[in-house]
A = this chain, B = another copy of it.
Amino acid sequence: MSLASPVGRASPAASIDPIVALTRDDMQRVNDLILSMAGSNVELIPEIAEHLIGSGGKRLRPMLTIASALAFGYRGDGHVKLAASVEFLHTATLLHDDVVDESNLRRGRKTARTIWGNQASVLVGDYLLGQAFKMMVEVGSMRALAILSNASAVIAEGEVWQLSAAKSLATTEEDYAAVIGAKTAALFAAAAEVGPVIAGADETSQAAMRDYGLHLGLAFQLVDDVLDYGGSAGELGKNVGDDFREGKITLPVILAHRSANEADRAFWRDALENGRNDDEALERARALLDQHGALQATRERARQHGAKALEAARQVPAGTSRDALIAVVDFCIDRIS
């Protein structure tokens, strides 16, 4: 049984299938709501929204909201609206992120900004944010609104911080933890916490689900960082080396750079800050990460966060919802095992 399986070892239940099965019906309603709330007489809005919505993401965040509400016995349709809000917050962030990072591809497809331009991406992102808050208001839970509005401010704050300070090899491991805590884990945490909130569960349960989402989000991001230097394109929906070519400072790089000699530091600087990032450079980067055990160390940190997420999940009432939440953590970690 996956609850008992040692963290980091592949378990039969390490899969997103259980959460997909658990949330299938509700996620169909989430998808319908998303399409309806992304609708507008202004044609450009559904056009861009459908491009993003059809981009093949796993919709993990809204599934977390659905599963965490079901885990605490929620009955009603507020979880569907909150799940759609969570996906809109995420989608708006992606739209704005791609503008800020000048990204041309996401999951192997052209980004909205390369098709419709930066201007439309900024404004459609704003529209989706407004629609997200409208849906939250309909649910009527002031506490859920507080959690999600706070997450949206934290995400933006993390992005500004990354923009102003963190795109440099001087970034420390602590800095990086703060950035991914804000940019990725804050929304995972909020998505999971609002479930017990609308189910009327007690504060301990709310805190447990917040911790679950937070550590799952951190593990998720660190695993992604590892896979970018080691996975295959099919697995990731992006190509190995995307982060490298975009000059992203991720934890593996921070760890390798920290213990590098002068020549290797110059290499990292050239590659990530000055854009000398061809295939040959990528090979050297991978060799250096290997030499310093940087991917291994990042994996280890991901496993630690996975363990904390599992610990939090143990506070959820036993049942298929808890099993599904646990299997997601195992799945996330097993991708790098």
Where the two chains meet, the residues of A that have a C-beta atom closer than 8 Å to any C-beta of B are: 40-45, 92-93, 96, 99-100, 118-120, 122-127, 129-131, 133-134, 136-137, 140, 142, 145-146, 149-157, 159-161, 163-165
Contacts and interface: CB of A to CB of B under 8 A. Distances in A.
A120 B131 CA distance: 23
B123 A96 contact: yes
Contacts of A43: 164
A127 B156 contact: yes
A140 B137 contact: no
A100 B127 contact: no
24 contacts: A41-B161, A42-B161, A44-B163, A44-B164, A45-B160, A96-B126, A100-B123, A120-B160, A123-B159, A125-B126, A126-B155, A126-B159, A127-B160, A129-B129, A129-B152, A129-B156, A130-B150, A133-B133, A133-B153, A134-B146, A134-B149, A134-B153, A136-B149, A142-B142
A250 B146 CA distance: 39
B153 A146 contact: no
Given A42-B157, A145-B137, A163 B120 contact: yes
Contacts of A44: 160-161, 163-164
A99 B118 contact: yes
Contact of A130 (B42, B99, B152): B152
B120 A99 contact: no
A167 to B, nearest CB: 10
B164 A152 contact: no
A161 to B, nearest CB: 4
A130 B154 contact: yes
A51 to B, nearest CB: 14
A153 B127 contact: yes
A161 B126 CA distance: 13
Given A133-B145, A134-B150, A137-B145, A119 B40 contact: no
Given A131-B153, A164-B43, A122 B99 contact: yes
A152 B123 contact: no
B130 A155 contact: yes
B120 A118 contact: no
A164 B42 contact: yes
A149 B81 CA distance: 15
A152 B118 CA distance: 20
Contacts of A150: 130, 134
Contacts of A140: 142
Contacts of A96: 122-123, 126
A159 B123 CA distance: 7
A152 B43 CA distance: 18
Given A44-B161, A122-B122, A133-B153, 13 more contacts: A45-B160, A92-B126, A100-B123, A119-B163, A123-B159, A124-B156, A130-B149, A130-B154, A130-B156, A130-B157, A131-B153, A133-B152, A137-B149
A137 B127 contact: no
Nearest to A101: B119
Contacts of A153: 127, 130-131, 133-134
A163 B123 CA distance: 9
Contact of A42 (B123, B149, B155, B160): B160
